[in-house]
Amino acid sequence: MKFGETFMEYLHGEQDKFLHKCSHVEYKRLKKVLKKCRTCKSLSESCKTEQQGDKEEEEEEDCMCEYQSCPVCDQMFFSELMKEASDIAGCFSSRARSLLQLHVPTGKLRFLFGVRRCFKDEQALKDEGSMLIEYITMNEIAIRKILKKYDKVHCSVNGKNFKSKMKAEHIELLRSPWLMELGAFLLNFNKLDGGEFSESSGHFSCDFNASLSVMTLTLANSIKLEFDLTCAICLDTVYNPYALSCGHLFCKSCACSAASVLIFQGLKTASPDSKCPICREVGVYANAIHMLELDLLLKKRLKEYWKERMSGERAERVKQSKEYWDLQTQYAIGY
């Protein structure tokens, strides 16, 4: 079956209700735009044959630069796609966020009670998690396909370049930290049932490899995602992880020291000028995501390591706050 049909079937299938409130890639409409633009294609083909007579070796190069932008569809095509992608990314993160909040009301509560306080039954939560993963995957495939088609019709690399633009805007769908959280969330459920470590539902599977600290998510169309769970600062498996807005993952304590704030003050207090230690982007601390599901997964799978890191962080926190208050009293007393 052609992807266009598969996608339509997905949009109007069982998950109709779920998808109702979410935006999706207007695959059909974008395809129509490209179809109208076949004039471009015939032009580019005629340019190919013309050149064959002229200079054969430069054929491909020449053709590419001549059609670097398409007056017929560029404006509409890319702005539309950018808007759709950012809507989808937004919809995905807000729904994932609220689903996971149902699962664990707040981080503190979870550690206090040590039990899952579900307001929906577990199966329903799990199903919604799977639906969200499918949602993001289907739309990602649609974007990849339509961009490929664009490049084919225009004989350009604009479609490819557009992907890097999406990355820069942080709307690259499969790079969302929430996808990592959902994967961890499903794995956490699995452990509860006393089942295998790998989770399989028709469309995807996820897997945690403790020796490498990698979480693997295998999606439809053989898209395989590997999430490296190593912190680039301490070079160990992340503990109490936070994902910065650029998507990079660090231990809370490491991120705090990188942003020159104390652990008890938290990442929100970081200066807007603080940079991500990996990509040097600024302003990435204020909306950092606390990866609670991932932390829970590591707590269960790497018990000893997790405990060790917990007492390490606690000791560091106490030391930092003692130094902080000593300094405050010195100022107050004035010596």
Two tokens, residue 310: 């917990």
Two tokens, residue 251: 């231990």
Residue with Cβ nearer Zn ion (210 or 282): 282
Give the CA-trace dihedral at 22, 25, 28, 33, to 10 degrees. 130
CB of 99 to Zn ion, least distance (A): 25
Residue with Cβ nearer Zn ion (93 or 190): 93
The site for Zn ion (CB under 5 A) is made up of 37, 40, 70, 72-73, 231, 233-234, 246, 248, 251, 254, 276, 278-279
User: Which residues lie closer than 8 Å to 253 by C-beta, 6 or more apart?
Assistant: 239, 240, 263, 313, 316
What DSSP letter does each residue of 161-211 carry, written as one string?
Answer: HHHHHHHHTT--GGG-HHHHHHHHHHHHHHHHTT--S-EEETTEEEEEETT
CB of 285 to Zn ion, least distance (A): 10
Residue with Cβ nearer Zn ion (69 or 329): 69
Chain-centroid distance, C-alpha 252: 19
Residue with Cβ nearer Zn ion (30 or 206): 30
CB of 275 to Zn ion, least distance (A): 8
Determine contact, residues 198/214, Cβ cutoff 8 Å: no
CB of 67 to Zn ion, least distance (A): 8
CB of 215 to Zn ion, least distance (A): 17
Residue with Cβ nearer Zn ion (153 or 186): 153
User: Which residues lie closer than 8 Å to 211 by C-beta, 6 or more apart?
Assistant: none
CB of 105 to Zn ion, least distance (A): 27
Residue with Cβ nearer Zn ion (59 or 74): 74
